[in-house]
Structure 1
Amino acid sequence: MGRTVKKAGKSKKKTKGSKNPEASSSVNPAVASGPAKVWQPGVDELEEGEELQFDPEAYNYLRGFSTGWPCLSFDVVRDQLGLVRSEFPHTLYGVAGTQAEKAAWNYVAVFKLSNIKGKKREPIPSSTVDADTDVDSDSSSDEEEEEETNEDIKPVLHLKKVAHVGGVNRIRSMTQQPHICATWGDTGHVQVWDFKSFLNSLADSGPVVHKEDDKIHSHVPVKVFSGHKDEGYAIDWSPLVTGRLVTGDCSKCIHLWEPSLNTWEIDTKPFVGHSASVEDLQWSPTEAAIFASCSVDGKICIWDIRTGKQPCISIKAHNADVNVISWNRLASCMIASGCDDGSFSIRDLRLIKASVCLCMHSIFRKKNISEMAF
């Protein structure tokens, strides 16, 4: 699903762009010179300033929606519409945090997307079987023209804007109480918000299309933590303990948040085991006291909050920044990681030789590798 690379300016982790709804809603990649080809991580090299292009043909349905300013992070908010939804039209709720041109212009976008219509993916595309690409092309074109002229089948975006001091590096919704969200700001503050009133308002909005609400609402966060020494990106809610949170910063420190009477007690003594910025955090899907972290130092660490502030396991996973990790939801001994050089790895923690501790015992007694599903 790759495309030829295009020349571009050297990108940074955060890019504050212009407020251009038309540009942000575009889904077509820039046209590159030369034939398209699939880029192979670890085989093909990117030249200085080159960027990969996505292939829109890989998607059954692809559409852009403008939230105003560019957003570095978003999260889907769990709703009560059912866990298994295979029939169109779809509705979903989400939150996103902006990276505006000026700090005072930032906000959290609380949104509802409804009337999303598409088609199920065929096991074997009909164009491959019938060798009739012209028919498929004409059909696709007709569907696009019909959507442009028929307001009833257009998707609808309902948006509420909540003022946020500074840009939002990352935003996460709590699994157990989805209206509770945490934001990592580029000001170095972590804030917890209650967006219940905004989500309820969106739920009552119905299918009627209306103009975007440009008003930026003032809303007070329920908790603000300024104990990090620097801004950060890593943040994760526990899937097993309601309200338990970990946050990691660019100064290699990780702090634990414990829920307490509608607020949080935050351990001011950080977990320290990385030598560079902590890029991502994930709680174990099966063990309430265990979480994983990854860092610019190329390492993945496994921590047990019951055994002190040092990692139980430290793995040199990549030779460059490890930007993201994903813990297997069915086999908790398996963890995947993604690197800044485009490579990724999948590791079985049972194969890591380390001192026996409670953390490793908890992880290694879980399910077989054959059950892996990230």
Structure 2
Amino acid sequence: MDADRGDGEAREARRKRPEVWRPGSAEDEDVELEYDESAYDALHAFSHEWPCLSLDVMRDDLGEGREVFPHEMTIVTGTQAMEATKNVLSVIRVSRIKKTRRDADADEDMEASDSDDDEDGGSDAPTLTVASVVHHGCVNRLRAMPQRPSTCASWSDSGHVMIWDLSAQLKKVMTSTNDSKGKIDPPSRVTPTQVFTGHKDEGYALDWSSVCEGRLASGDCAGAIHTWDMVQGKWDVGATPYTGHYSSVEDIQWSPTERDVFISCSADQTVCVWDTRQRAKPALRVKTHDSDVNVLSWNRLANSMVATGADDGSLRIWDLRNFNETNAQFVANFTFHRAAVTSVDWAPFDSAMLASSSADNTVCVWDLAVERDAEEEAAALAAKDNAAPPEDLPPQLMFVHQGLKDPKEIKWHRQIPGACVTTAADGFNIFKAYNVGPAVP
């Protein structure tokens, strides 16, 4: 066969294949997506009365490494209401998170779930139990303390950082009965444990230390960072801010192993490494992107690895052992996202895996341990029903979750391997991809 003719036939066959859909134009907003059940071990969606920019997963006492469905989890979130006085912090217990019914075993699932459906009113939706408190202003960012999940910190668009004791709300959702499920009581009026008014502007950067209980860092849109330390049940906030960024501090994280080290990223396109014992200037200040650096995540299993996401859609991986101001070299650079990266989170069960969300309405799961395999790709293309991959599809891209509107944050559940929670303008998604984490029993 003539070589040119063979190549032409191959190209023609490729053109006839179904294509992977990606958002890229205004017309795409009217596209209705249908999900493939076989791609998920679980997928559930629910919403709050108002959109939420931020969420956190609250550690519970139900055990580690949970793999068997149905699952249960508790999250905390804060709203962006149309009126400032209507904002709340909500503790949400999500129970009865079921495994997706795939076509191959649908009959078996239906038979096995008959008794469950009788109890639950015939619904496969998870059960939500909510307890809320009134919050002063819109919630820009919210974080639960790892060692004491009922203690939460919130960044308000009023310019205040507040500490909250949500133990009563957590107890309420955990002890709710079947009669109270589905009912939402009016939010309680609770006084914050502490309010810090020392920031000169509102902000988004907020993180608790996993090494030192009660240690908090907050960064604002004026470029200033303050650290907090718990002293006899109250927080002592350093009056003198850390100043090394020349623009808004977008995200911040404490070291997973060292009590005195944290990193921050900024709209000035840099990442700073800080030592609290040397407040005058950052230990390192490195230009990492060519646009605003929106988010970062410090790998808790491989402590030298940091991921950053920028306004131009780039997602980069850095090795802190080779992180320097004169010749910063990233380990990986992914440009798959077509709009700003809004969140990034390393997986707690696999040191090479992370998740990202973007304003292009996609959530991606990446595995850095994967390398391109030409034979495997050729075999995949030989199957006539497989979609033709985009030319810029990285082999490390394990999964793309779509159908959300403007996703803001993605969080791995640290006790249910492979489970993710997202918040977006149109609500929350809980999902586990079939090829991420342990195989579901």
Q: Which TM-score band applies after superposition, normalised by the shorter structure?
A: 0.7 to 0.9
Corresponding residue to 1:37 among 20, 44, 47: 20
1:340 Cα deviation from its structure 2 partner: 1.5
Aligned to 2:55: 74
Corresponding residue to 2:262 among 288, 291, 304: 291
* Equivalent-residue separation in structure 2 for 1:37 and 1:141 (angstroms): 30
SS in structure 2 of the partner of residue 61 of structure 1: strand
Aligned to 1:9: none
Confirm or deny: 8 A CA contact 1:71 1:99 kept in the other structure. Answer: yes
1:269 Cα deviation from its structure 2 partner: 0.8
* Equivalent-residue separation in structure 2 for 1:247 and 1:233 (angstroms): 8
* Equivalent-residue separation in structure 2 for 1:101 and 1:371 (angstroms): 40
* Equivalent-residue separation in structure 1 for 2:145 and 2:33 (angstroms): 30
Q: Which runs of 5+ in 1 are unaligned?
A: 1-34, 121-125, 127-134, 356-369
Residues 184 and 353 (structure 1 numbering): CA distance in 2 closer, same or farther, change over 3 Å? closer
Paired AA for residue 77 in structure 1: M
Aligned to 1:132: none
Corresponding residue to 1:308 among 279, 283, 289: 279
Aligned to 1:252: 223
Paired AA for residue 151 in structure 1: G
Residues 216 and 62 (structure 1 numbering): CA distance in 2 closer, same or farther, change over 3 Å? same
Aligned to 1:22: none
Pairing 1:179-190 to 2, within 5 Å after superposition: 179-190=150-161
Corresponding residue to 2:121 among 151, 164, 189: 151
1:100-126 CA-to-partner distances (Å, cap 9, x unmatched) read 010001111111111111159xxxxx9
Pairing 1:6-85 to 2, within 5 Å after superposition: 37=20, 39=22, 56-57=35-36, 58-85=39-66
1:142-161 CA-to-partner distances (Å, cap 9, x unmatched) read 79x98988526542100112
1:187 Cα deviation from its structure 2 partner: 0.4
State the percentage of identical aligned residues. Answer: 42
Aligned to 2:167: 196
Residues 119 and 246 (structure 1 numbering): CA distance in 2 closer, same or farther, change over 3 Å? same
- Relative contact order (C-alpha < 8 Å, sep 6+): which is higher? 2
* Equivalent-residue separation in structure 2 for 1:327 and 1:78 (angstroms): 19
1:240-289 CA-to-partner distances (Å, cap 9, x unmatched) read 00000000011111001011110000011111111111111011101111
1:172 Cα deviation from its structure 2 partner: 0.3
Paired AA for residue 350 in structure 1: R
Paired AA for residue 50 in structure 2: W
SS in structure 1 of the partner of residue 173 of structure 2: helix
Paired AA for residue 20 in structure 2: K
1:84 Cα deviation from its structure 2 partner: 1.2
Confirm or deny: 8 A CA contact 1:239 1:283 kept in the other structure. Answer: yes
Confirm or deny: 8 A CA contact 2:132 2:169 kept in the other structure. Answer: no
Paired AA for residue 190 in structure 2: H
SS in structure 2 of the partner of residue 202 of structure 1: helix
1:161 is the counterpart of 2:144:
no
Report which stretch shifted further, 201-210 or 305-314. Answer: 201-210
Pairing 1:206-221 to 2, within 5 Å after superposition: 206-208=177-179, 210-221=181-192
Paired AA for residue 233 in structure 1: Y
Paired AA for residue 161 in structure 2: V
SS in structure 1 of the partner of residue 201 of structure 2: coil
Aligned to 2:83: 102
Confirm or deny: 8 A CA contact 2:58 2:76 kept in the other structure. Answer: yes
1:198 Cα deviation from its structure 2 partner: 1.1
Q: Which runs of 5+ in 2 are unaligned?
A: 1-17, 327-349, 355-441
Paired AA for residue 226 in structure 1: T
Confirm or deny: 8 A CA contact 1:270 1:309 kept in the other structure. Answer: no
1:141 Cα deviation from its structure 2 partner: 12
Aligned to 1:274: 245
Greater strand fraction, Structure 1 or Structure 2: 2
* Equivalent-residue separation in structure 1 for 2:108 and 2:58 (angstroms): 31
Q: How many residues align?
A: 307
1:342 Cα deviation from its structure 2 partner: 1.5
SS in structure 2 of the partner of residue 326 of structure 1: strand
1:194-240 CA-to-partner distances (Å, cap 9, x unmatched) read 01111111111144563422412100110000100100000000000
1:62-98 CA-to-partner distances (Å, cap 9, x unmatched) read 2222221111111111110012111111111111100
Pairing 1:320-331 to 2, within 5 Å after superposition: 320-331=291-302
Paired AA for residue 196 in structure 1: S
SS in structure 1 of the partner of residue 45 of structure 2: coil
Residues 251 and 80 (structure 1 numbering): CA distance in 2 closer, same or farther, change over 3 Å? same
SS in structure 1 of the partner of residue 192 of structure 2: coil
SS in structure 1 of the partner of residue 171 of structure 2: helix
Aligned to 1:174: 145
Paired AA for residue 116 in structure 1: I
1:55 Cα deviation from its structure 2 partner: 7.5
Residues 242 and 213 (structure 1 numbering): CA distance in 2 closer, same or farther, change over 3 Å? same
1:146-193 CA-to-partner distances (Å, cap 9, x unmatched) read 898852654210011210011000110000011100000000000000
1:37 Cα deviation from its structure 2 partner: 3.1
Q: TM-score, normalised by structure 2?
A: 0.63
Residues 299 and 211 (structure 1 numbering): CA distance in 2 closer, same or farther, change over 3 Å? same
* Equivalent-residue separation in structure 1 for 2:285 and 2:240 (angstroms): 20
* Equivalent-residue separation in structure 1 for 2:106 and 2:250 (angstroms): 45
